[in-house]
Amino acid sequence: MKTNSKILLLLILITCTILNLSAKNVEVTKENERAGKEELYNDFKNSSLLNNSNPFDTEYNLKLMNIQVDVLGFLFFGPQVGVDFQIANIVAVGPYVRWNYAGLIYQGIITDWFSNETAASPASYGIGVSAKVIPPIGSGKHRPYFGIGIEKFKGKESWDPGGTWGRHYYEYKSNVYYFSAGYRMLTDGSFNLSVGIFLGLQIETEDKDYYEFGDGVEYNTLDDPKFGGGLQLSLGWQLGK
């Protein structure tokens, strides 16, 4: 009988110990859950989504605007002046104007490499818009860039064939679609330097010619699409914050 009582007491003691340990484990689990929730809340509170910080922020950030001039355009298809609106320290979008008349290669194409009397008009120009991705690397001072763009181009040239009708004028319009890639270096000030290449496709949309003293205008068959490319060297100045 005493043996049975001892066994019963031992079973009761073991059961109480197990229940006590289970209760402690439950409390520890609840504490861990509370700590985990607090950690998640703190992470969310400090996240870039909540405090509106930019995950692309670096030591050298892109500012609100960048005015840039492609000086190497004087060698190719004309100098280009543009304004980029820069977003989130990684994207740049903006309009530009190109003066084709001042491009050496453009003049060479028009004049058959300066072998005839054809004259390009100063009113030969292009108006376009481009978009670039300029991701920061390290401090953000050195950046690759990749861009696309579309340009509306208008060209005009003329020559004197002799006779009483005066000069013979030739006008044309084109859409130019292009891709660009290169490297941009920022500085401690507003100045920045970009070096790159571009490859484009020119599709003619209008082609006509007429005489200075003639009455009619002749619309010609559109030329086949043309591929072209070149190098860019752009000097830029950032404005804003």
Which three-class secondary structure state does DSSP give residue 160?
A: coil
178 within 8 A of 80, measured Cβ to Cβ: no
Residue 5's pLDDT band (boundaries 50, 70, 90)?
low
Q: What is the pLDDT of residues 161-184, one digit of tens each?
A: 888 888 889 899 999 999 999 999
CB-based contact 186:192 (threshold 8 Å): yes
pLDDT in tens, 125-151: 999 999 999 999 999 999 999 999 999
Q: What is the Cα–Cα distance from 197 to 200, expressed in whole angstroms?
A: 10
pLDDT value of residue 20: 62
Residue 8 confidence class, pLDDT cut points 50, 70, 90: low
Q: Which residue did the predictor score with more confidence, 17 or 221?
A: 221
Structure tokens at 91: 């994207």
CATH of 65-239, one of 1.10.287.3510, 1.10.3720.10, 3.40.50.11610, 2.40.160.20: 2.40.160.20
The confidence band for 212, taking pLDDT boundaries of 50, 70 and 90, is confident
C-alpha closest to that of 165 among 213, 208, 209, 210 = 213
**pTM for the whole structure:** 0.74
d(CA 199, CA 156): 23
In the block, tokens 């980029």 appear at 84
Q: What share of the chain is helix, strand, coil (3-state, %, to 5)?
A: 25, 45, 30
How many angstroms separate the CA atoms of 175 and 129, rounded?
12
Residue 53 or residue 234, greater confidence:
234
